[in-house]
A and B are shown apart, each in its own frame.
Chain A
Amino acid sequence: MSDSHVIQISKLHKIYILGKTKVHALRGIDLEVKKGEYISIMGPSGSGKSTLMNIIGCLDVSTSGTYHLNGQDVSGMTDDELAKIRNKEIGFVFQTFNLLPRASALHNVELPLIYNGTGSSKRKELAKQALEKVGLADRMNHKPNELSGGQRQRVAIARALVNNPSMILADEPTGNLDTTTGEEIMVIFDRLNEMGNTIVLVTHEDFIARHSNRIIRLKDGLIEKEEIPEPAEENK
């Protein structure tokens, strides 16, 4: 197994049992993502896109097959082990931002560091740096409801970055934003990728996916095709 791979997935199956019916959400996925890659996962609803994202994000485990994240086999891990992996290796960015409403921007960004036991002053320092990277240094003490949608998503990106994870996993990051703001957010992802971060985007919009270097199209629980997008000059 190569160290340069962040994600190595082979023969991944996921079966949900809903009452008496079995739903075969993933039917044998093979996927490798190298360090520094910028990929998009696309597919219509019901394609297994969310299931794959949950497994990649270590929020769920597969029914069979293997998943190595940054060289570690996470297939058989317990809840708490997965929590630690999520904390260390993955930075989540969600469609609905998912910030804690009562905590300031700074405290939201500090959160992953609180759970890995980073000391208070170090934590504030790192959180400030992360907020600076997304251009929100002047909004640190604002609560989410005092921020615009774009600003909230930037706080979420700062939170995803703060622990210096192996990959950033973004689920429809622009889904709740207008086009212009969405584009601003995508510019941040592009820049983060240029700085060496591995990014996995989950989206159903082509013009968003075009920011990545590789598009994985899912259909009925399988990878339908992979494609290298044309650089979308008009969007850059």
Chain B
Amino acid sequence: MKPISGQFLEYLRFSYESLSANKIRFLLTTLGILLGVTAIIVIFTAIQSINAYVEGEFSSIGSASLYLDKFPWVITGNYWEFRNRPEITVEDYKNMKDRVPTARWVSPQIEAMRTVTYRGKSLEDVYTIGTNDQYAFTDDAITDIGRFFTEMEVYRANPVCVIGQNVMDELFEKENPIGKRIKINGHPHRVVGVLEKKGSFFGFNIDNQVIIPYTTFQGISFHRRGISIAFRADNPRDIDNMREEIRGEMRRLRKIPPAEPDNFSINQQDMLTEFYNKITGTSYLVVFIIAAISLVVGGIGIMNIMLVSVTERTKEIGIRKAIGATRRNILLQFLSESVTISSIGGIIGIILGVLIAQFLLSYIKLDASVSLTTIFIGYFFSAIVGIISGMYPAYRAARLNPIDALRYE
């Protein structure tokens, strides 16, 4: 067998001559593949861009920590069963904090949306967290200016606070906030630190927050609510042991008989990621089905046109065979023609898809991350469709008898 590469350009030239003679037909035939590939590129790019965004968001939650909560973060099943569970309380925190050997840091967490004021300026709906000094480690709260509050300040219920960047920007402008007193729901708290900028989590501005000792939180809260307890191991590999320790201790504390299920949840960032992946996994499948259908339809279009083309060009095939074209030559000629059609459809589809994806994503203020993989997948599918749909027509052309073909008018 002769290498194809040497004659590759010739086949392209044959395709060009043939396709340029039937431009309208060629464009219409291309349309099916074009739209299929456009759909693949738009949806793949959209999913990937959103994924990239979401992954970035999830990394803003402590990934090595476990959170003991009343509810699981992702609720599957009957909500009411979870609702009837007892709350996690500050008492639970006090009991648990020294009973989980693998947990190096433990922080109770209680939260509420509160109004924060400073010298007449006021900021509503500030995410207010009551916790202890170890929150700095369980939730990676790093201070940019000043410091986090101390164990002693928590113990003494000192009215101190650490504020987010947004709170600083809104209330202090150019003033140094350290040492100043802000009022949280009217209760004065002295600023000891400012957190580094964290950005946002699904549109929720994380920097719009205030962290205070949980011991003073009771004063600003009208009603008692359940809390959440964060545990963090020194070594992330101990996370599974830690989960078992927490579970065992909680069951013992609540005196749950062995046959009964847990009446609390131990949450982890992975759960959100897994849940999210499950959703996107489904959407990938939907995309795949839509794209597959449009590519099949496009492929049938190409096959149809190639069959017409083979019939119309019977004489040409006869001429080529008479002067020495082998079956393989004819087969490759028609295959490269169908691949050219589908590839051009694919390439235009890729360009169109990228443009549309960028346009759509700019609406939700996301950067389109068009990966090479996506482009490759788009092109790969269009080429495959070209080969598959060209196979039968090309085979028919290749086996034509030269005498009959030459006689064809």
Contact = CB atoms under 8 A, between A and B. Distances in A.
Interface of A: 54, 57, 59-60, 79-80, 83-84, 86-88, 92, 94, 98-100, 102-103, 107, 111-112, 114-117, 119-120, 159, 163
B361 to A, nearest CB: 44
Nearest to A120: B9
B54 interface: no
Contacts, number: 66
Contact of A54 (B10, B319, B403): B403
Interface residues of B, number: 27
A116 B328 contact: no
Contacts of A98: 315, 318-319, 322, 406
Contacts of A103: 17
Contacts of A119: 6
B322 A60 contact: no
Pick the most buried of A60, A83, A92: most chain B CB atoms within 10 A of its CB.
Answer: A83
B326 A80 contact: yes
B114 interface: no
Contacts of B316: 100
A83 B400 CA distance: 13
Given A84-B324, A87-B324, A92-B322, A60 B403 contact: yes
Pick the most buried of B321, B322, B328, B406: most chain A CB atoms within 10 A of its CB.
Answer: B322
A111 B21 CA distance: 19
Contact of B319 (A79, A87, A100): A100
Interface string B317-343: 011111111111100000000000000
B328 A111 contact: no
A117 B7 CA distance: 7
A114 B322 contact: no
B402 interface: yes
A117 B315 contact: no
A80 B403 contact: no
B2 interface: yes
Contact of B322 (A59, A88, A163): A59
Contacts of B320: 100, 111, 115
A114 B406 contact: no
A87 B323 contact: yes
Contacts of A80: 326-328
A159 B403 contact: no
Nearest to B402: A59
Contacts of B2: 117
Interface string B378-404: 000000000000000000000000110
Contacts of A83: 321, 324-327, 329
A115 B17 contact: no
Given A87-B323, A88-B324, A111-B323, A102 B21 contact: yes
